[in-house]
Every structure is written in structure tokens, then in C-alpha cells.
Amino acid sequence: MKKLVLAAAVVLAATAALAQSVTEKTGVNSLLGVAPSTEDFVKKAATGDLFEIAVSKLAIERADPATRAFAEEMVRDHERIGSELKQMVKNQAINAVVPAEMTESQKETLAELQGVQGQDFNDRYHSDQVKAHADAVDLFQRYGEKGEQAAIKTWAVNTLPVLRHHLDMAKELNK
């Protein structure tokens, strides 16, 4: 009987953890203003940085001068932000994995962008940057307000102005 109760508890705990990830992944948490779990926050923040770096390096190679300048700042800032996140997770001994790869969706977006040239590239990169930074601002704001891990929460709040600045810059490029 104890084994059955223990097995049920494990299944329920796994289901709850998965449910939170699903609600974060589908955007339900964002719509409701619910903070992501620390694990979800770390995953989304890290993969967002990887995506920003990859697409911005591509923009440095292909884009117009104004977009190239923006992309250089994105690479510099997101490399720093990603490094800080890794260090925070390590220093706080948080039970979260910092992904080393982008999500499949991000990889697909990068592949699509690799097939575009000229003004079409600039336009697509600009609109992708607005969306990516709007999502990042939302993620960091929700975690900064209601996150569960104090040090990561403080870091999210302190990083938010940089992401808001990126969003403003991306909107300017997108005009």
C-alpha cells in the first residue's frame, strides 16, 4: 500500500511540474500574469539569449548598417546576460538546467531567416526582434514580480531595463 501511495505521489508531482511547463510554453501563464517556475524561467531566458545571439550574428553578416549596429549590441548584451544567468544558477545551487541549445521553434526561425536576403532579411529580423524582446520583457517582469527564488528574482528585475531598451530599439528599427 505504501508503494502505491508513493507511486501516486510521484505521478502527481510529475504531472504538476509538467503542467506548469505546459502553461508556460503555451502562453497561459503570460495571459494570466502568473510567474514561471524557476526552472521554466531559466530555460526560457537561456534559450532566448541563445536565439538572440544566433540571429544577431546572422544580421551582422547580412543586414543594413543600422540593423548591424543593433545586432552587435544584441550579441554583446545577450552574451553577458546568458553568462550572468549561468553564474546565478551555479552560485545559488538552483535545481535547473541551463540549456545549451535553442528550442526547435527557435532553430526553425533561424533556418527561415538564413534563407532570406536584403530588405526582406532586415524586415523579418526587425519583426522577430520586437516579438522576442516583448516576450522577454514579459517573462522577466512576471518572474521579477512573483518569482520563487530571491536571487534570480532580483537579477530578473535588474536585467529588465536592458530588455526594455532592446524592445524600444527593435520597435524603432521596425518602423
Query: pLDDT at position 12, please?
Result: 39
Domain check: are 14 and 44 in the same one? no
Residues whose CB is less than 8 angstroms from the CB of residue 6 and which lie 6 or more positions away in sequence, other chains included: none
Which residues does 33 contact at the CB level (< 8 Å), separation at least 6? 142
| Same-domain check for residues 65 and 150 | yes
Check residue 33 and give its pLDDT.
Answer: 74
Quick one: which of 38, 13, 33, 1 has its CA closest to 147? 38
DSSP 70-82: HHHHHHHHHHHHH
Q: Which amino acid does the sequence have at 118?
A: G
**Domain match, 70 and 148 both:** yes
pLDDT tier for residue 93 given thresholds of 50, 70 and 90:
confident
Q: Look up the pTM and report it.
A: 0.82
Cell numbers found for residue 72: 552587435
Note whether 26 and 86 are same-domain residues: no
41 and 121 belong to one structural domain: yes
Domain extent at residue 143: 35-173
